[in-house]
Structures are given as structure tokens and as C-alpha cells.
Copies of this chain bind each other. A is one copy, B any other.
Amino acid sequence: MKAEKIQQLNPNVSVDCVIFGFDFEQLKVLLIEREGNFEDKSQRLALPGDLIFNSENLLSAAQRVLEELTGLKDIFLKQVGAFGEPDRISKETDKQWLRSIRANPDARVITIAYYSLVQITDYAPQANSFATSANWYDVREIEDLAFDHYSILRQALDQLRMELQSRPVGFNLMPPKFTLGQLQKMYEAILGKSLDKRNFRRKILKLDILAPLEEKQQEVSHKPAQYFMFNEENYNKLRESGFDNFGF
């Protein structure tokens, strides 16, 4: 590191990132595995997060920490909210772990959570810093996490579901070309319920944000599906304005 102005960590404020991905089957979330002895595997897993520097804003801090811990760069993050019960760090294993990495392990910390959606295939997370690994986990299979991260995850998921009903956000999870069946599976994975195929297609197509490609699926053992891509212009327009009624 060059002799830049000293980056001073703020002992009381951290950021945590809830990064969702989709593998055409299930909704996934990116978690880091921490060093140390944890009886329960769930306690070893945590959202990528760390203290902020005094000189950076919250969003940049979240982006920096995300990159440091997982290698993911330039991710669009959206704030979920602030979390910070005084007894947030009540689990003994978490206390021990903090003592091993922090200058001021007993400080009251409030954390600002952010969430994002990425295409899993675009990012190969790589652990750095105090994470021993960074991996995708099926959201449905997570029952607890370190600190209060489980409740942060739940709330981020709630917010994602809400957002999905008013904006075409979820499309971030899709690769550049995709089939309507894949898109529907994404909606189903996020909302946690199955949808009617015909109604889904009609509704999605009416938004006028998809453009069909010439290309079709190949080497699938069923009728090959049409590929689609986004009509970027209309897509962005709709992202800003939102739609009034888009409940499934």
C-alpha cells in the first residue's frame, strides 16, 4: 500500500452484503466461511461484511468489503437497512472470532445491510482476507448464520420479493440470452411458489422489455426454446418508473 492518507476504520459501523444469484434451479446467496472452531456449521457461515473506513461512504464501503472478501467488483448494491441490537454479538463463537480479527472487538457495532443480484456464471467468488472461502448456498437450505445475519438475509429476501413485484429487478440474475422458461424459474425461485406458464408469458411479454433472438436452444431433449435478450432501452425505462400492478 502506498503512503496515502491513513484509512481509519470506524469501530462502530459495519456493512454486510446479501448477494443473490440464480443457477436456473434455485435462488442462491453468497456466503463466506470463517476460520475458527465452530460446533455448528451454520455458525461458520456469514454474510460478507466488515467495518467501514471513516473516509468512505456506506455504499462504497459495502462494495469494497464485498470485493475484499469475495473478489466481486462493481456490483450494484441496494440498501436493506440498519441492524444493530446492542446484543447483536451475543454468540460466544462470534465474540471469540472478533477478538481474533478486530482491534476493538467489544465495541458496539451497527451494520448497514445491502443486497444485490448477480449472474452466477459471471462471478467466480474467491475468498480473501479473513474469509477462508466464498461460495453460493441454496437460500432454502439456510437455517441460521453467524451474528444476526440470518435475520438480515430474511429481510433482504423480503425486500427482493417486494421489489420483484414492482420492477423488473430480477432480470439481473439472468445471462444475456435466456429462455422464458428460465426466466419463469427465476421468478418462482425468488417468490417461492409456482406460476402459470401461459399467464407468466403473456404478462412478461406485454412489458415490452424482451426481444426474441433468432437463436434457439440446442441439444436439449425436448422442443428447443426460443432465446430472448433484453430490450435495454425499454428495460431501463421500466426500471425507473416501475409498474403499478405486477403481482403474480
A interface vs B, CB < 8 Å?
10-13, 54-58, 79, 81-82, 84-86, 108, 110, 112, 244-245, 247
Kindly list chain B residues whose C-beta atoms are within 8 Å of the C-beta of A11.
Answer: 12
Among residues of B, the one whose C-beta sits closest to the C-beta of A8 is B108
Kindly list chain B residues whose C-beta atoms are within 8 Å of the C-beta of A57.
Answer: 84-86
Residue in contact with A86 in the complex, picked from B54, B85, B247, CB distance below 8 Å: B54
Bound Cα distance A79, B244 (Å):
24
User: This chain: how many copies in the complex?
Assistant: 2
Residue in contact with A245 in the complex, picked from B12, B56, B112, B245, CB distance below 8 Å: B245
Residue in contact with A247 in the complex, picked from B10, B54, B56, B245, CB distance below 8 Å: B245
How far does the Cβ of A108 sit from chain B's closest Cβ, in whole Å? 4
Contact B108 A82 (CB under 8 A): no
Among residues of B, the one whose C-beta sits closest to the C-beta of A88 is B57
Kindly list chain B residues whose C-beta atoms are within 8 Å of the C-beta of A56.
Answer: 86
Kindly list chain B residues whose C-beta atoms are within 8 Å of the C-beta of A81.
Answer: 79, 81-82
Contact B86 A55 (CB under 8 A): yes
Some 13 contacts from A to B, beta carbons below 8 A apart, are A10-B108, A12-B13, A13-B108, A13-B110, A54-B108, A57-B85, A57-B86, A81-B82, A82-B82, A110-B112, A244-B247, A245-B245, A245-B247
Kindly list chain B residues whose C-beta atoms are within 8 Å of the C-beta of A247.
Answer: 244-245
Kindly list chain B residues whose C-beta atoms are within 8 Å of the C-beta of A85.
Answer: 57
How far does the Cβ of A47 sit from chain B's closest Cβ, in whole Å? 16
How far does the Cβ of A118 sit from chain B's closest Cβ, in whole Å? 22
